[in-house]
Structure 1
Amino acid sequence: MFHRFAGFTVVLLLVACSTSTRFQYRPPAESLQAPEAASGFVVKPGWQSSRFMVAAANPLATDAGYQVLKAGGSALDAAIAVQMVLGLVEPQSSGIGGGAFLMHYDGQRVQAFDGRETAPAAATPELFMKDGKPMPFMEGVVGGRSVGTPGAVRMLELAHRQHGRLPWASLFAPAIRLAEEGFLVSPRLASLLQTPDARRLLEDPQARALFFDAEGKPLAAGTRLRNPAYAASLRAIAAGGSAALHTGPIAEAVVARVRGHTNAGGLNLADMASYQAKVREPLCFDYKRWRVCGMPPPSSGPLAIAQMLGMLAQRDLAAYPPVPREFGLEPSAEAVHLVSEAGRLAYADRGRYVADPDFVPLPGGSAAALLAPDYLRARAARIGERSMGRAEPGDPLAARAALADDRSPELPSTSHISVVDAQGHAVSMTTTIENAFGAQIMAAGFLLNNQLTDFSFVPSENGKPVANRVEAGKRPRSSMSPLLVFERDSGRLAMTMGSPGGSAIINYVAKTLVGMTDWGLNAQQAVALPNFGSRNGPTELEQGRVSPELIAALQARGHEVRSIVQTSGLQAIQRTDKGWFGGADPRREGVAMGD
């Protein structure tokens, strides 16, 4: 059922070319476009369907995927339509100027598609060093310096060649029409345009004209926003495939903006033209009665989750279910303690060992050493009754002395898409331009990523190289954790899930997976559960959604507790006796739809 492999020969003919199915997009009623407040927690019911389902971070994007599925499209077709609309209506989070990781299940095998951005050929390990010191983080973010070669479109094209049913061009119709006719700015986009960081968009002529009025005020929620430049780019890509983005006028516009910025970058036309999406061997692991498959490195997410659950496999997490509170379910102190301690250990290994495996292989050349039962048992033995505070990396295969730790931050502006089609095929895709509004420069109607700031700003420490240092052609480490979950005995698809959230993605997805597998929560309940965990620092609890009693219980066990805003954007779909049940994060504007 689960076939692992390193690569495959690309099928040259589009599957969609042989189908006679036609897809005609109809924009939904505008009441669908702004369903909730810009921030805060809005209770959602979850959604049941019998045949297919799609969950995404914006109702217009979800509806585009729903219409594709209803017209007979595949899960992959729906994901493409959703992504193109998200690039319009949620431009701060993802788009064709960024990258993505995609897990696909075709009823027989699981594939891991890597569309992560790459560093330009001109990039050096000192890219973010200044006067012998790492430059201030936002100085590295804003401008061309941080822009990597985008990979999302080329990855989607590669996947569509194998798994598309509808013609490639038809999948761009929803986003093109909405871009040309306009959509109502959502409360979330409007609120993000009012943040201090978004003011830097005023320095970019294209972004200023799109997101601000003539007086320089950010567009208010409910304002109609049209983006004809984005529509023109999508028309070109619909007609010419990814080559229309990676070569020709669009590529020239991207390179000109990157190299012409006051904080110029090294991206050039050769970088754009030579980008290759990859198919990597999925990282699959067993957890109790489940088989979980996710992205391998350069994502650190599924590997860290596998380590956490491997350490906790001998603990009876089911014995510590969430407890009812006036604000909803709250995780128990014992569960938060165990998951946070396992997280400290996993994040410590992540910081030492995980990077683009084409440049820096994992110890032993695969994930096996970091997931070896004896190694995880030894790591788990460090989890006691009191918090360890900060964990040190482990020492699989005596690899520890060779590398220094990476402490680079990872920003949370990302989006996740979960889809299951009528044939039971599934997609779990996490997609990003990194920071809110990326590098805060636009070209051809879309924002460019700042993904290179996911590399370590410091290339080495004490003479030891950092695994995640900048190198030409390298893909920066990520925490994106798109997962597909199967029943281990039957092999049936059981769940698809993922989240945005920067380095906290690992904890968000782990929480949701534990909620659905150990605690018997449905997708909506697990997604809505308060976020918690540790990134090998303080124990982080979602601000305003936990009780003083939980905080006190953790402090009594030695935890340094920090209550912070944790705006995940989880989307999850699970199999039920009636078909499929979808959950969308109550912290954002997403919904699930299906028939």
Structure 2
Amino acid sequence: MKKLILLFAFLAAPVAASAQGVVSAADPRAAAAGTEILNAGGSATDAAIATMLALNVVEPQSAGIGGGAFFLQYNAKTNKIRTIDGREAAPMAADNRWFYGPDGQPLDHRAAVPGGRSVGVPGTLRAMALAHARGGRLPWARLFQPAIRLARDGFEVSPRLNNALRSYAPHVDVGTRAIYYGADGKPIATGTRVTNPQQAALLERVAKLGPDSFYVGPQAEKLVATVNNAARNPSKMTTGDLASYAAKDRPVLCGTYRAYRICSMGPPSSGGVTVLMILAQLERFDMAKLGKDNPVAWHLFAESSRLAYADRDMYVGDPDYVQVPLAGLLNRKYLAGRSALISPDKSMAVVEAGKPVGAPKRIKAQSMEVHGTTSLSIVDKAGNVTQVTTTIESPFGSGLSVDGTMLNNELTDFDIVPEKDGYLVANRVEGGKRPRSSMAPTIVYGPDGKVRLAIGAAGGSTIIAQVAKGIIGVVDWKLSAQDAIGLGLLYAPGMMAMAEKGTQLDAMVPALQALGEKVQSGPLGLKMNAVERVKGRWTGGADPRSEGVVMDQQGHTTVITRVGAQPNRPSE
């Protein structure tokens, strides 16, 4: 317990800066796994995989191999970025009434989450394998060793995990309860050492036999039986659904903001395109002169967010199934027209999606995302960068587990009701389709053409606003990545805005209301990580709302001073 208290103490140490590799992750044990791999000669990709696997063990409420991931890989030699789509997929048996009950009525989101029907075919391991083939240096099995040790030998329950266990006790299955709860039904206390031998054995098998051992054979059969025999919302997944799953290369999605080039993930993620739209619509305003403490700057941010989210909701889905008008959405003339709707001294009365060139007719999309995600940012000593956002969707996903590993509820990112106003929505459920995501792993090139910043976030649809805020903080307000992450957020996906409670925005609420903003204060459940290049050296930032740290190969670690807990809203 003493060790854990020291680990999560409120320190005011400077952020680690290094010419060597740097890892920013949501848990110090995971960051240590990444730096171990860097020190063993691994690449940024190797370290990212090791960090993800360790997070699977110590942050089971947020992500793992039972979920999905998006990778951005920057190659310092070629100065190019590749993106990998490891998003979960619907079973082929899924149709647009997948989340309807026996009474023929659609389930509400809360009722659809638990059990087997919400589980998508996991994509994380396939994405890891593809990333490793493209950018790995060390053997595949070596990357699993830190996570295997944590699961086999044990780790101490952190305050954040304990909070999640308390908040979601009724949601998790018997197998999970056997690991993390006592005979009295209460979660294991903070600081208690816990082991997960079943998960250790699973990771050892995948390390030795490769990802196929998860997608075919006994392990696949076990996963299928778990979701199809679930007591709540049983699925119709097959072993063929797992065997046929493939991670996909997707075109990198890039745009510009001032003198910076911003590159992110394209569909089925809506994160990248929406971030780019928010930024482009703000470019005509002097955000630098307004500054971070000016309510007008945040009003403009909210208005631009509303417009971008409206287009996102209307047009973005899985590009293998629906026509996504990316070129039209990012067209500078179109974005200038959208920006012209924004006024610095009043709020828009109505916000609707625009009509970009190439927009298909009669589509609409609107889904609900919640907070079961994690992000990590890594650079190696050669300057290669890997930015990953990975998720199981809700905290503890579907509530189901296989061999000590949680299974996602990603399919509830689809629109449950497939029609609206008499026409089909873009993000409806279809067999084999990947649900729309807000995850937005992003890499920013500076005016010198070199990578300046890699940043990502967790927190459902707030991810988009978080990443846009972080970029504005660095580019316009000249903040460090750490300080940009720490800024409070004004989140405005629609007409109502939420000002993050307990931040600098509290004092701005009256001024925002005077500008016509419909705004209220409340917790948002945010979590970000970043690495950045400053004067030729790499440093990083981690969210003060989380247990995140920045760690480098030289042994310098910063445990970020936390800004306060958000009970019952873990920002996973």
Q: Provide the TM-score with structure 1 as the length reference.
A: 0.90
Shift of residue 44 of structure 1?
6.9
Letter in 2 for 1:309: L
Shift of residue 400 of structure 1?
6.4
Q: Distance in 1 between matches of 2:450 and 2:303?
A: 32
Q: Deviations over 1:201-233 (max 9, x none)?
A: 2xx221110111112111110111100111111
Q: Distance in 2 between matches of 1:239 and 1:477?
A: 33
Shift of residue 118 of structure 1?
0.2
CA separation of 1:475/1:547 partners in 2, compared to 1, >3 Å: closer, same or farther?
Answer: closer
Q: Deviations over 1:485-518 (max 9, x none)?
A: 1124x32111110000100100011100100011
Q: Deviations over 1:33-92 (max 9, x none)?
A: 87338xxx9877422122210100000000010111112110000001001110000000
What secondary structure, in the 3-state scheme, does the structure 1 residue paired with 2:392 have? strand
Q: Distance in 2 between matches of 1:422 and 1:58?
A: 22
1:412 has 2:371 as partner: yes
Q: Distance in 2 between matches of 1:370 and 1:481?
A: 17
Counterpart for residue 235 of structure 1: 204
- Structure 1 contact 55–583 (Cα < 8 Å) conserved: yes
What secondary structure, in the 3-state scheme, does the structure 2 residue paired with 1:216 have? coil
Q: Distance in 2 between matches of 1:587 and 1:182?
A: 25
- Structure 2 contact 439–463 (Cα < 8 Å) conserved: yes
Q: Distance in 1 between matches of 2:444 and 2:463?
A: 17
Alignment partner for residue 335 of structure 1, among 297, 305, 308? 297
Alignment partner for residue 332 of structure 2, among 369, 373, 382? 373
Alignment partner for residue 386 of structure 1, among 346, 369, 372? 346
Q: Distance in 2 between matches of 1:62 and 1:422?
A: 16
1:351 has 2:309 as partner: no
Give unmatched runs, 5+ long, in structure 1: 1-28, 324-331
Letter in 1 for 2:417: V
Shift of residue 401 of structure 1?
4.2
1:399 has 2:359 as partner: yes
Q: Deviations over 1:503-550 (max 9, x none)?
A: 010001110010001110001100101122311131211112135540
CA separation of 1:548/1:213 partners in 2, compared to 1, >3 Å: closer, same or farther?
Answer: closer
Counterpart for residue 482 of structure 2: 524
Letter in 2 for 1:343: S
Letter in 2 for 1:280: R
Shift of residue 567 of structure 1?
2.1
Alignment partner for residue 576 of structure 1, among 534, 539, 551? 534
Shift of residue 136 of structure 1?
2.0
Residues paired across the two proteins, number: 548
Alignment partner for residue 100 of structure 2, among 129, 149, 156? 129
CA separation of 1:250/1:56 partners in 2, compared to 1, >3 Å: closer, same or farther?
Answer: same
1:428 has 2:387 as partner: yes
Letter in 2 for 1:161: A
CA separation of 1:400/1:270 partners in 2, compared to 1, >3 Å: closer, same or farther?
Answer: closer
Counterpart for residue 247 of structure 2: 277
Letter in 2 for 1:399: A
Shift of residue 362 of structure 1?
1.1
What secondary structure, in the 3-state scheme, does the structure 1 residue paired with 2:7 have? coil
CA separation of 1:42/1:94 partners in 2, compared to 1, >3 Å: closer, same or farther?
Answer: farther
Q: Distance in 2 between matches of 1:474 and 1:398?
A: 22
Q: Distance in 2 between matches of 1:557 and 1:569?
A: 29
Counterpart for residue 165 of structure 1: 137
1:175 has 2:147 as partner: yes
Q: Deviations over 1:409-459 (max 9, x none)?
A: 101110001000011000010000000000001111200000000000110
Q: Deviations over 1:378-428 (max 9, x none)?
A: 111111221115410001137364213x33210111000100001100001
Letter in 1 for 2:242: M
What secondary structure, in the 3-state scheme, does the structure 1 residue paired with 2:527 have? coil
Counterpart for residue 215 of structure 1: 184
- Structure 2 contact 314–366 (Cα < 8 Å) conserved: no
What secondary structure, in the 3-state scheme, does the structure 2 residue paired with 1:126 have? coil
Counterpart for residue 494 of structure 2: 536
The 5-angstrom pairing of residues 547-586 of structure 1 reads 548-577=506-535, 579-586=537-544
The 5-angstrom pairing of residues 110-149 of structure 1 reads 110-130=81-101, 131-149=103-121
1:200 has 2:171 as partner: yes
Alignment partner for residue 587 of structure 1, among 545, 548, 560? 545
1:298 has 2:268 as partner: yes
Shift of residue 238 of structure 1?
0.5
CA separation of 1:245/1:321 partners in 2, compared to 1, >3 Å: closer, same or farther?
Answer: same
Q: Distance in 2 between matches of 1:64 and 1:117?
A: 25
- Structure 2 contact 398–408 (Cα < 8 Å) conserved: yes
Letter in 2 for 1:576: V
Counterpart for residue 56 of structure 2: 87
What secondary structure, in the 3-state scheme, does the structure 2 residue paired with 1:134 have? coil
The 5-angstrom pairing of residues 307-322 of structure 1 reads 307-322=277-292
- Structure 2 contact 487–504 (Cα < 8 Å) conserved: no
What secondary structure, in the 3-state scheme, does the structure 2 residue paired with 1:129 have? coil
Counterpart for residue 71 of structure 1: 40
1:439 has 2:398 as partner: yes
Alignment partner for residue 425 of structure 2, among 466, 470, 473? 466
CA separation of 1:549/1:189 partners in 2, compared to 1, >3 Å: closer, same or farther?
Answer: closer
Q: Distance in 1 between matches of 2:369 and 2:14?
A: 31
Q: Which moved more, 1:520-529 or 1:125-134?
A: 125-134
Q: Distance in 2 between matches of 1:221 and 1:78?
A: 27
Q: Distance in 1 between matches of 2:354 and 2:446?
A: 31
Give unmatched runs, 5+ long, in structure 2: 555-572
Letter in 2 for 1:344: R
- Structure 2 contact 488–505 (Cα < 8 Å) conserved: no
Q: Distance in 1 between matches of 2:223 and 2:484?
A: 40
Q: Distance in 2 between matches of 1:519 and 1:50?
A: 25
CA separation of 1:259/1:42 partners in 2, compared to 1, >3 Å: closer, same or farther?
Answer: farther
- Structure 1 contact 487–493 (Cα < 8 Å) conserved: yes
Counterpart for residue 558 of structure 2: none
Shift of residue 563 of structure 1?
1.2
Q: Distance in 1 between matches of 2:270 and 2:11?
A: 30
Q: Distance in 1 between matches of 2:32 and 2:349?
A: 45
Q: Distance in 2 between matches of 1:448 and 1:427?
A: 24
Counterpart for residue 3 of structure 2: 31
- Structure 1 contact 32–59 (Cα < 8 Å) conserved: no
Give aligned-pair identity as a percent: 45
